[in-house]
Amino acid sequence: MIHVSKKRLDMLSAWIVPVALLGSWFCLYKLEGSHNSFVTDPLRVFGMLLRNWSAFVQNAWLSMCRLFGGVVLGTIFGAASGLALARVARLRVLFSPTLQTLSSIPFMVLIPFFLMVFGFGEVFRVSVITASTFLLVNAQAFHAVRQLNPDYFELAAIYEKSSWQLVKRVLVPASLPAIVGALRFSLLLAWLAVALAEKAVAEWPNGGLGYYILRAKEQGQFIDMFASVIVLALLAWVFDQVVGRLQRQVSRWCDTVEAVDAREGQV
Amino acid sequence: MTYLEVKIDKMQYSDTPHFVQNRGLRKFLGLAPIKKNRVLIEDLAIHVEKEEVISFVGPSGVGKSTLLRILAGLETRFDGNVNLGGKSIKSPSRRIQVVFQDNCLLPWLDVEGNIAFAIRDGDHTTREQKTREWVENVRLSDKAKAFPKTLSGGEASRVAFARVFIAPPEVLLLDEPFRAVDTITKEGLQDLLIQFADKPNTTIVLVSHSIDDAVFLSDRVIALAGSPPTPTTPACPLHILEEFPVTLTRPRERKNKEIFELAERVKEKLRAAAH
């Protein structure tokens, strides 16, 4: 009998569902493809992927840069402002109600406003993603600090910690799991934000993957659309894996099921 | 000669939240604010001599922890003052350190990190060596990289003790430090505390539920009383019931008969006050 280690088995199991989905797509095409033009041939989609590889890579790279830049900026600004708001009552009074209200607005409606402020260009695209990340990270970092045991701040006061030491040894490590959690969640939104931002500033051929998808959809080129969706899904998966690893790393101290599993080397 | 002195004229505690008192609808309608203040402490004075070890004992909820917080400079909402060596204490500082009731370890720092937290900022030269030394002193070398969540109650207490001993304060305040630990660990911690108490210029104030521990460790045991109001009796502010000097020489035997007898006397007094 072939011996397969548990870890390898877990890795293999992860492929079952995607392969099954591909299989059912294939079956669906075989059954319906002849009389329904919305069901595309998976083989032709993958063929398109291989044929136009360089175009996909180029567009994906552009989108990835925008996404990365926006998400990093949004996380830094969001975390810094969240921590500051949590600690300074005056800032809270000034900004919290506005931020709270902005968070409840779907950010898509803000796109025209951003266009007005930043113009039709790269700054606009990145700023849309920054804003969508900012609001989420800001709220999570804020709450992580507000939920802390007040004794920690008394302990820091007894040991005469400077503000900088308080940030470094208490505020940042305490809120990092929440910040990275928010970052991971906001990545899902960010892909949507990329697509919408790229759509708003239509540019060919450097529109980016999001623009590519939406354009293909409008022109009814479903093969092109599906091919780029596959690229986007792969990219999203890679980003999520990387951030997930980061999340496990900064959450090792937490009292959660996930942290316990991570300490014991479980999935 | 008095070294540490706390004098509290009055400390009030508001039972009603601020917003109910004088904001919102009540204010809008011009109603009088609800006042439900109760006097927690009134005319209390405690003097501690240099290098003395004193204990506060008394029933739960009497205000022992509040008293300790006042001594630490963590609680300032009262009329009166705290003096240390002739200087008024207005805010917390490393001169007066606390072992908190729940140890108060920072969950995101490992054992080493928590112990090193007490070292002054910028003091990098001896940081690592001192930390390692104290990790060993409290026998946690194999847990040096462990996070607080994975520690047992006794291990967590040992970390909290190492954190105050690594950068020794002039006054050490302990809030029920032996509450969550087994007997053997407790004896180990008490030995560490006694070693620390024997050093020059160290004054210790202990809050304890165990009267036997209080008598064994202290030079003076202060029995406290006070109670919230009940439907039949008015509130009684925190006050000193009686002070019991412990004149036994050190080192002391844990099973000493005199300790046992004095502890019984303290308990008798507290029992009588409870009725």
Give the per-residue SS3 of chain B.
CEEEEEEEEEEEEECCCHHHHHCHHHHHCCCCCCCCEEEEEEEEEEEEECCCEEEEECCCCCCHHHHHHHHHCCCCCCEEEEEECCEECCCCCCCEEEECCCCCCCCCCCHHHHHHCCCCCCCCCCHHHHHHHHHHHCCCHHHCCCCHHHCCHHHHHHHHHHHHHCCCCCEEEEECCCCCCCHHHHHHHHHHHHHHHHCCCCEEEEECCCHHHHHHHCCEEEEEEEECCCCCCCCEEEEEEEEEECCCCCCCCCCCHHHHHHHHHHHHHHHHHHC
For range B260-268, the mean pLDDT: 95
pLDDT of B216 above 70: yes
pLDDT band per the 50, 70, 90 thresholds, residue A107: confident
pLDDT band per the 50, 70, 90 thresholds, residue A67: very high
Q: What is the pLDDT of residues A78-97, one digit of tens each?
A: 999 999 999 999 999 999 99
Name the residue among B92, B107, B120 with its Cβ closest to that of A154.
B92
Name the residue range of residue A250's domain.
40-263
Domain tally for chain B? 1
- B residues 138..177 contacting A (CB < 8 A): 147-150
Is B35 a domain residue?
no
Is B18 a domain residue?
no
- CB A154 to CB B109 under 8 A? no
Q: So what's the pLDDT on residue A8?
A: 83
How far A180 CA sits from the closest chain B CA (Å)?
A: 15
On chain A, the residues whose CB falls within 8 A of the CB of B121 are 161-162, 165
Nearest C-alpha neighbor of A243 from the set A187, A197, A166, A169: A187
Is A10 a domain residue?
no
pLDDT of B21 above 60: no
Mean pLDDT lowest for which of A132-136, B20-24, B82-86, B231-235? B20-24
Alpha helix (H) ranges present in chain A? 6-13, 16-32, 42-51, 53-87, 89-103, 111-118, 122-146, 150-158, 163-166, 172-200, 209-218, 222-250, 257-263
Q: So what's the pLDDT on residue B147?
A: 95
Ramachandran angles phi, psi of B167, nearest 5°:
-130, 80
Is B227 a domain residue?
yes
How far A253 CA sits from the closest chain B CA (Å)?
A: 5
% of chain B surpassing 90 pLDDT: 67
How far A152 CA sits from the closest chain B CA (Å)?
A: 7
Tell me, yes or no, if A47 comes closer than 8 A to chain B by beta carbon.
no
Could you tell me the CATH number of the domain that includes residue A255? 1.10.3720.10
Interface probe, candidates A253, A260, A261, chain B, greatest B C-beta count within 10 A = A253
Is B25 a domain residue?
no
pLDDT band per the 50, 70, 90 thresholds, residue B230: confident
Name the residue among A158, A162, A255 with its Cβ closest to that of B97.
A158
Is B130 a domain residue?
yes
Is B230 a domain residue?
yes
On chain A, the residues whose CB falls within 8 A of the CB of B66 are none
On chain B, the residues whose CB falls within 8 A of the CB of A160 are 93-94, 120
Tell me, yes or no, if A161 comes closer than 8 A to chain B by beta carbon.
yes
Name the residue among A158, A165, A170 with its Cβ closest to that of B94.
A158
- B residues 89..118 contacting A (CB < 8 A): 91-94, 96-98, 100, 102, 104, 106-110, 117-118
Q: pTM for the complete prediction?
A: 0.87
Do B92 and B140 meet the contact criterion of CB atoms below 8 Å apart?
no
Could you tell me the CATH number of the domain that includes residue B258? 3.40.50.300
Average pLDDT of chain B, as a whole number: 89
On chain B, the residues whose CB falls within 8 A of the CB of A248 are none
Tell me, yes or no, if A173 comes closer than 8 A to chain B by beta carbon.
yes
Q: So what's the pLDDT on residue B17?
A: 53
Q: So what's the pLDDT on residue B67?
A: 93
Is A167 a domain residue?
yes
Tell me, yes or no, if A110 comes closer than 8 A to chain B by beta carbon.
no
Is B185 a domain residue?
yes
Range of A2-11, A22-31, A71-80, B253-262 with top mean pLDDT = A71-80
For range B203-217, the mean pLDDT: 94
Q: So what's the pLDDT on residue A193?
A: 87
Name the residue range of residue B127's domain.
2-8+43-274
pLDDT of A102 above 80: yes
Q: So what's the pLDDT on residue B263?
A: 95
Tell me, yes or no, if A30 comes closer than 8 A to chain B by beta carbon.
no
Return d(Cα A38, Cα B170) in angstroms, integer.
80
Domain tally for chain A? 1
Tell me, yes or no, if A178 comes closer than 8 A to chain B by beta carbon.
no
Q: What is the pLDDT of residues B155-194, one digit of tens each?
A: 999 999 999 999 999 999 999 999 888 899 899 999 999 9
Q: So what's the pLDDT on residue B120?
A: 86
